Amino acid sequence: MGEPLAFVFPGQGSQSVGMGRAVFESSVQARRTFEEADDVLGYPISAVMFDGPAERLDETTTAQPAILAASIAILEALAERTAALGRRITEGAEPRGVAALPVGIRPAYVAGHSLGEFSALVAAGVLTFSEALRLVAERGRLAATKGARGSMAAIVGLSADQVDAVIRVSAPDGSTVVANDNGPAQVTIAGTVESIGRVCEALARAGAKKVVPLRISGPFHFPPMGRIGGDLREFMAGIRFRDPVVPVVANVSGRPHSSAETIPDALVRHLAQRVEWLRSVRSMREGGVTTFVEIGAGQVVSGLIKRIVDAKTLAISDPPSISDFIAKLKGASR
């Protein structure tokens, strides 16, 4: 497009029945991606994604690999459609992720919101798709069987500092925390069910415009969820983390991961620490990004970005949006 891009990927909560079906039906590479997901996971997750039921798709153990699969399938469909536009980053062995895109479409950064960071790691070549699938499936299993219990809610109309101030009064024992700093006036909180209810009432009194419970079966980015960190670290010891072909912005810092060796530790901290999405987006904008391209189901992340920085946003989720993106690429190159 002649201007610096960032590819961004959505997290849990973006799932919906039917996601990915259109690219499955139109793209050979996307179809292969879904077939690989079914094979790696040992059950037809694509069928749950396409046909439901929604209750099954919303379960953490299903939603996490499903969201990853949808994002990577859409990215692979994009790579298939743009193959004729120029030389890819790597030659020889069949590349995946952003390495399969023509050099001119290579993003300056990739990042993912919460669970979306795993999609970003695949896009940047840090993990293979099958490795990431196994990792998020294990992460979801550990969270469901050994993780913290509780809930999450989105708060609109207050900043993270304002929400923190209310939490210090209404939940001083740490039973609720700010889990995601999503923007200047939008955050997500996580905590025990009882505490979340009490804090939400206090936030409404403090001026929150909206308080929305999230479709999630466990409180991520919540300190007690860190109890599964040791098990997750042990699982990751059997996975090879490669140097990224483009910088991957880390949720826990809002800055690019410094090396492949530091990523497993960041992913462990990711369980219990705040998602610094506001800082991540500002970091990429300061790095020169002028267009953010959301790849995956829905447009949640694009909506967050519009409230953080003055930049263009595009969302790619199906064949028509892929075509629209390619048309913009061709128009910008004239």
| Residues with catalytic roles | 114, 221
Exposed/middle/buried for residue 231 (C-beta within 10 Å: 0-12, 13-18, 19+): middle
Q: Which residue has the tokens 């140097």?
A: 243
Strand ranges of the sheet holding 151-156, from the earlier edge strand across to the other edge: 176-183, 186-191, 151-156, 210-213
CA angle 290, 100, 108 (to 5 degrees): 25
Contacts of 204 (CB under 8 A, 6+ apart): 211
CA–CA distance, 203 with 157 (Å, rounded to integer): 10
Contacts of 298 (CB under 8 A, 6+ apart): 10, 14, 16, 19, 315, 317
Contacts of 201 (CB under 8 A, 6+ apart): none
Structural tokens at position 195 = 């505490």
Q: Report whether the peptide linkage leading into residue 53 is cis, meaning its omega lies within 30 degrees of zero.
A: yes
3-class secondary structure, 187 = strand
Structural tokens at position 322 = 């892929």
CA–CA distance, 334 with 330 (Å, rounded to integer): 7
How many other C-beta atoms lie within 10 A of the C-beta of residue 313?
18
Bridge-based pairing of strands 5-9 and 291-295 is parallel
CA–CA distance, 88 with 125 (Å, rounded to integer): 14
Q: How far is CA 66 from CA 21, 153, 227, in A?
A: 12, 21, 24
CA–CA distance, 130 with 32 (Å, rounded to integer): 12
